[in-house]
Structure 1
């Protein structure tokens, strides 16, 4: 038995010496069921688009898990495990504590409209009809160990489709591709926001006037974008509450994205007053 354990230990050490990657420790995140507010449900029923709302909620619910997983920053807890954890959670004083999970994501649909706009062009004998979908959700990230709200953000989206000579088309008759597109945009936006709040994009390597960023495809980066680069300073603490307000950030340059790979992004340095590895990136204000 001792001999077997010795061989096993030698195998592990050999693997490490050969540079084989060791699985990193990822933060665990639980994702609650996506729900629409009662007001949104009532409005959809009145407008005759309850079916569209149901499809949106189901689509967001399933796609959100994949989008968060695809950030490669979190270990997503299975829904079945989440239900068990919630039963064992400590709910007291309006807060909660969930063991075995680092973060909890709660998403609520707080606006949904699916309607059609039509314009007649009598001189041409044609008409143009637009199906418009408006969707907004609130995403809240909680520290599961304390129940503290870390971030709350609203994600409003609008998407429309245009076709000709469909003035008589009814709501919902047009392609459901729009529903898929808008829910995809929403889930990507939410998952990227989570990753940016908990793990801001960082420079992980630099060679001459190019830097490599720890974000890849589908993480909000696109070729041509310009991002501000910040060096982090000391932690900022609220003198009244003692709560951490994050760390001081000083802008040290700007970079422009030139290419994106599945796991990383490469950018060219535009301005540099101290860009180093570990610096974080923020999108420039529009």
Structure 2
């Protein structure tokens, strides 16, 4: 039986938006602002996360998704650009670097607050053996991500990100320091989650072609999709407008089936239809992860 669902302002903590609300043409220009770190994070852990690759990992994940034009806001990069602008004014250069005051502004800022962070090595002494310890490296990060519209100064979306990573336990001659590979792993997982949810918020996963029992969707191998991942398929419905504010509240959508990712290509992927009538599906239908569906009315 077909089901109707009203896509609300927030679904699983993610604000669902249309790309048109961010940019009228071309790719959305986006930048990642400096980290905000909660005072609840210890001073030692604050230093670790400040010196980590988290911002670079987030930028790489966003760029690899190929959905946005990524602008830098890192101080070292901006200084390098300023230096090149100065060089461009000299007699040694052709002068084709961007002029001061002509750098593009971001339409959207991604602001990341670190609510919790821990990277350490747990240890316990091995009984009856001197200077031997059983150790395990663990990294945990909890983030609050906000999507800011720079034109209006408004918060357009927000979602939480929680990731953990740990290594296997082993016997060591001393406690020592945790392996940085564990830290790198948890930061890359968090960055990938941010990029995926950001992309899904502004550009929902969309059917670009239907062929038999297969759907071709606009996500490739840099989008974080996994073979075997399940999705719910929806037909777009009428946009719903708040009569008091004129604000779009999302759209009424009809659930038409379910599918599972069967192949991931560089720029698109294939989803096998596991539930529903393929003949009822068409280009433009939307796929959502089940966790993003907040409620259903029968």
What's the TM-score once normalised by structure 2's chain length?
0.72
The 3-state SS of whatever aligns with 2:168 is: strand
1:112–1:206 Cα change, 3 Å: same
CA distance in 2, matches of 1:185, 1:207: 33
Please point out which of 166, 183, 206 is paired with 2:172.
Answer: 166
What's the TM-score once normalised by structure 1's chain length?
0.75
Q: How does 1:1-286 map to 2 (within 5 A)?
A: 25-40=26-41, 43-45=42-44, 49-56=45-52, 59-79=53-73, 100-119=105-124, 122=127, 128-166=134-172, 168-170=174-176, 173-273=177-277, 274-285=280-291
Contact 1:44 1:113 in 2 (8 A): no
Residues 232-280 of structure 1: per-residue CA shift (max 9 Å, x gap)? 1111223443321112221111111111011111111112242211111
CA distance in 2, matches of 1:182, 1:128: 22
The 3-state SS of whatever aligns with 1:39 is: coil
CA distance in 1, matches of 2:55, 2:31: 13
Larger fraction in helix: 1
1:159–1:44 Cα change, 3 Å: farther
How many angstroms does 1:155 deviate by? 0.6
Q: Any stretches of 5+ residues in structure 2 without a counterpart? A: 1-24, 80-103, 293-298
Question: RMSD across aligned C-alpha pairs, in angstroms?
Answer: 2.8
The 3-state SS of whatever aligns with 1:219 is: coil
1:277–1:124 Cα change, 3 Å: farther
1:233–1:127 Cα change, 3 Å: same
The 3-state SS of whatever aligns with 2:200 is: helix
Contact 2:141 2:163 in 1 (8 A): yes
CA distance in 2, matches of 1:186, 1:167: 32
How many angstroms does 1:211 deviate by? 1.1
Q: Which has the higher contact order (CA 8 A, sep 6+)?
A: 2
CA distance in 2, matches of 1:197, 1:155: 14
How many angstroms does 1:143 deviate by? 1.7
Contact 2:37 2:46 in 1 (8 A): no
Contact 2:133 2:175 in 1 (8 A): no
CA distance in 2, matches of 1:123, 1:279: 64
Contact 1:129 1:167 in 2 (8 A): no
